[in-house]
Structure 1
């Protein structure tokens, strides 16, 4: 990492900082704090806000989980965020994303049907939205209309926040080289 990781306990153990560390540990439970947490904990208040936002995106969204994870994985690919890919590709598969589609996302060959990979209409919309939002910022009106015809306003907002939130994460991970993953190869998770 380009700066040292923060300690796994607060440098200033005020009641407020201790509570922040506890909230982050609670969200990660049963795992310990991860390198991303230790990068963010240089400022406990920012880490706390991040934890709240990303926890809500991950656990309080009505948008289909497998599609959200597919979007997160594509953000990782588009932004060369190896750590983000490594963390979320297995989650996407466990959530029900098809291995062949995830591999097509990794190889950027998901458009249309190639090599016997059939990307569903929903997957294609989510991937196109993710690409437009990540690369262009502005999303074409025609695509927004299709998203709104398919999902509720709440779900369109949740997809938008998921893509935006994980763009923030990937930019943080890559800029600071959290886990020293920059330059490593993104690989498909091992089949289980």
Structure 2
């Protein structure tokens, strides 16, 4: 059970704005409200914009799905949110990028934080993905990204792509913190 009760799957709101927010969220969830939705909807005016941002990060950025899912999966691995790790590592394996293998996903999950740049070559990873993982590690654990990590990332990503990538990392770190605080189970 979560730290606060999940709202019922058939929740409704009396306030018109909250009802519109709920309808918008339901329209994006063909399989019904998730446990995360049912916690966030305790504060509908937070849930609506939060899920709009999540949709923008997922569907409206210029970064590839393999780059985005690498960063997201790493953030969930670091934060030990196994349910979300399972979802995003599976998304990563479905990536059209041929360099994404089970060995790559294992590295994303198990490489000790802060050691990506010293281990990626031995694991057969390319430097671009190492930059994504190092950026995720630093942003997740230290907040401030060391200059050498940011400079490496700039070799592969435009300013727009870096903002999109860091927004994805930040958003999913925030999701991980809500999952952790309320012990949300999918």
Correspondence 1:122 to 2:123:
no
Instruction: Provide the C-alpha distance between the structure 1 equivalents of 2:65 and 2:132, rounded to a whole number of angstroms.
Output: 12
Instruction: Provide the C-alpha distance between the structure 2 equivalents of 1:72 and 1:126, rounded to a whole number of angstroms.
Output: 10
Instruction: Provide the C-alpha distance between the structure 1 equivalents of 2:140 and 2:159, rounded to a whole number of angstroms.
Output: 20
Instruction: Provide the C-alpha distance between the structure 2 equivalents of 1:12 and 1:59, rounded to a whole number of angstroms.
Output: 28
List aligned pairs for 1:50-69, cutoff 5 A.
50-69=50-69
Instruction: Provide the C-alpha distance between the structure 2 equivalents of 1:119 and 1:16, rounded to a whole number of angstroms.
Output: 48
Instruction: Provide the C-alpha distance between the structure 2 equivalents of 1:149 and 1:87, rounded to a whole number of angstroms.
Output: 29
Aligned 8 A contact 1:20 1:44 in 2: yes
Partner residue of 2:163 out of 146, 157, 172: 157
Instruction: Calculate the TM-score normalised by the size of structure 2.
Output: 0.88
Match of 1:112 in 2: 120
1:148, CA displacement in angstroms? 2.0
1:146, CA displacement in angstroms? 2.3
Instruction: Calculate the TM-score normalised by the size of structure 1.
Output: 0.86
Instruction: Provide the C-alpha distance between the structure 1 equivalents of 2:86 and 2:36, rounded to a whole number of angstroms.
Output: 13
Aligned 8 A contact 1:129 1:143 in 2: yes
Aligned 8 A contact 1:9 1:21 in 2: no
1:74-107 alpha-carbon deviations (Å, 9 max, x no partner): 1011111112212211111112432211111222
Instruction: Provide the C-alpha distance between the structure 2 equivalents of 1:155 and 1:112, rounded to a whole number of angstroms.
Output: 22
Structure 1 residue runs without a partner (length 5+): 181-192
Match of 2:28 in 1: 27
Aligned 8 A contact 1:75 1:166 in 2: yes
Match of 1:90 in 2: 90
What is the DSSP-based 3-state SS (H/G/I as helix, E as strand, rest coil) of the residue aligned with 1:63? coil
Instruction: Provide the C-alpha distance between the structure 1 equivalents of 2:11 and 2:19, rounded to a whole number of angstroms.
Output: 7
Instruction: Provide the C-alpha distance between the structure 1 equivalents of 2:95 and 2:61, rounded to a whole number of angstroms.
Output: 14
What is the DSSP-based 3-state SS (H/G/I as helix, E as strand, rest coil) of the residue aligned with 2:28? helix
How many aligned positions are there?
177
What is the DSSP-based 3-state SS (H/G/I as helix, E as strand, rest coil) of the residue aligned with 2:3? coil
List aligned pairs for 1:140-151, cutoff 5 A.
140-151=146-157
